[in-house]
Amino acid sequence: MRVKRFVANDIQTAITKIKNEMGNDAVILHTRYFKEGGILGFFKKKYVEVTAATEGRNNLLQRPLKQLYDQQNIVPLSRVQSQAVELPIVSAVQKTPDPLAVELADMKAAITQMSELLENNSDTTRFPKLGRDLLLRLKKQEVEEKNAERAVKATLQQLPPKRKPQAEKINELLSVNLAKPLKKSKPIIIKNTRMKKPKIYAMVGPTGVGKTTTLAKLASTFSVIERKKVAFITIDTYRIAAAEQLKVIGEIMGTPVIVVYSLAQLQESLAEVLDNDIIFIDTAGRSHKNSAQMEELKNYLEIAGPDEIFLALSCTAKYSDMLNIIAAYEDLKISRLIFTKLDETSYYGAIYNVACKSKYPLSYFTTGQGIPDDIEVADPAKLVQLLMKE
């Protein structure tokens, strides 16, 4: 058996060296990473050491090593696409046949594990160390892989080729590239001129995302700060507290609040508040998995005929759940997204992923329970800033 160590900058280079010198039948025995060089412990360069073996004349058992491998179903190097994985250290020579068979079985399991990793993991070896560090940084924020790779690739291409870039410049370029796919935010804009008919805005979304509180913040902003005439209609009769909350807010602002219990009553209530500038419609939380509830909500919205329908999503929800909720509410003709509870999470990748993927623009972020203070326009620059925060 011939055993040799190969040292290279990356795993692909090491594999190429092994194939060139030992042939395609060589088998990887061990892989490890280490760092060397640098100044005062900084700027160390990362290397990979791969120990490989191939059959030779001094086989202890006087049997072709390839035959032993075939009997144990060991995969030769030609069938393995290598990647950065840590394999167990195995002995190249054994004194008796039985221990060698055990070692070969261990090698088989290790190589099988490596093959599974290759199928399941993305190939990041094409990125230099700086790129891998940036990818890891975005991955920790739960940014979707394709979004992260796109931004990092563009950033690396824009860096000066012959000198070490400063961290500030790297962050600046990465921020710009992260912001590129984001749509311009779309908040409510009411012109100062007197309108012939009121603008109607409805709020929908799952239970517990803070629809009523968010609507109260918007109403307070336009009533108190913008000096617009605002009216509330709530069809959330499932929660007594929701209607009572709006009534208290309405009394403070001098704003009418109407609680609706039927489709016919909704039509009558709309006629009563047509002299206002803005009508906000609050709805009950609906499970996106309950088709009957969604159909009932759709009937109310068809009668209300809102100019815009906001879908409220909690920042604490999983990305996959957000996508499922958006898909379920699409039939209601939603037009904008509001992300609530921004203050209750430290991971903003899910919001970013939705903003990149969804056709609906972001409108507002809510950042607490305070009315009307804890609401702000969903500025793309703010979202990128949150992603970049260490």
Identify whether residues 150 and 291 lie together within a single domain: no
**Residue 165, class by beta-carbon neighbours within 10 Å (0-12 exposed, 13-18 middle, 19+ buried)?**
middle
Domain of residue 175 covers: 129-179
Residue type, 167: A
Domain with residue 349: its CATH number is 3.40.50.300
Distance CA 255, CA 258 (A): 10
Say which residue the tokens 């190969």 belong to: 6
- Residue 70 has what pLDDT? 45
Looking at the structure, do residues 97 and 12 belong to the same domain, yes or no?
yes
215 and 363: one domain? yes
- The count of structural domains within the chain is 3
Look at residue 186 and tell me if it is in a domain. Answer: no
Do residues 159 and 251 both lie within one domain? no
342 close to 352: Cβ distance less than 8 angstroms: no
Q: Are residues 83 and 139 in the same domain?
A: no
Q: Are residues 253 and 352 in the same domain?
A: yes
For tokens 């060139």, the residue is 20
Q: What angle do CA 226, 229, 230 make, to 5 degrees?
A: 95
In a domain, 194, yes or no: no
Same domain? 82 vs 12: yes
- Let me know: does 64 contact 1? Beta carbons within 8 Å: no
Per residue of the chain (390 residues), give pLDDT as tens: 788 888 988 888 888 888 888 888 788 877 888 777 665 555 678 888 888 888 754 443 334 434 434 444 444 444 444 444 444 444 444 444 456 666 666 666 656 555 544 444 445 556 778 889 999 999 999 999 999 999 999 999 998 877 787 889 999 999 999 999 999 999 999 877 667 889 999 999 998 899 989 999 999 999 888 889 999 999 877 766 777 877 888 888 888 999 998 999 999 999 999 999 999 999 987 776 778 888 989 999 999 999 999 999 999 999 999 999 999 999 899 999 999 999 999 999 999 999 999 999 999 999 998 988 899 999 999 999 999 986
Residues 168 and 260 reside in one and the same domain:
no
State residue 65's pLDDT score: 39
Domain end among 69, 96, 120: 120
* pTM (global) more than 0.75: no
Packing angle, helices 380-388 and 167-179, rounded to 10: 140
pLDDT at residue 315, as a whole number: 96
Q: What burial class does residue 345 get, using C-beta atoms within 10 Å of its C-beta: 0-12 exposed, 13-18 middle, 19+ buried?
A: middle
Task: Let me know whether 145 and 251 are in one domain.
Answer: no
Q: Are 43 and 92 found together in one domain? A: yes
Closest CA to 273 of 248, 256, 254: 256
Same domain, yes or no, for 212 and 258? yes
User: Is 72 within the bounds of a domain?
Assistant: yes
Please calculate the CA angle 287-291-294 and round it to the nearest 5 degrees. 65
Residue at which a domain ends, from 100, 120, 140: 120
pLDDT score for 112:
59
What per-residue confidence (pLDDT) applies to 57? 45
Q: Do the Cβ atoms of 388 and 170 come closer than 8 Å?
A: no
Shared domain for 135 and 115, answered yes or no, is no
What is the per-residue pLDDT for 67?
43
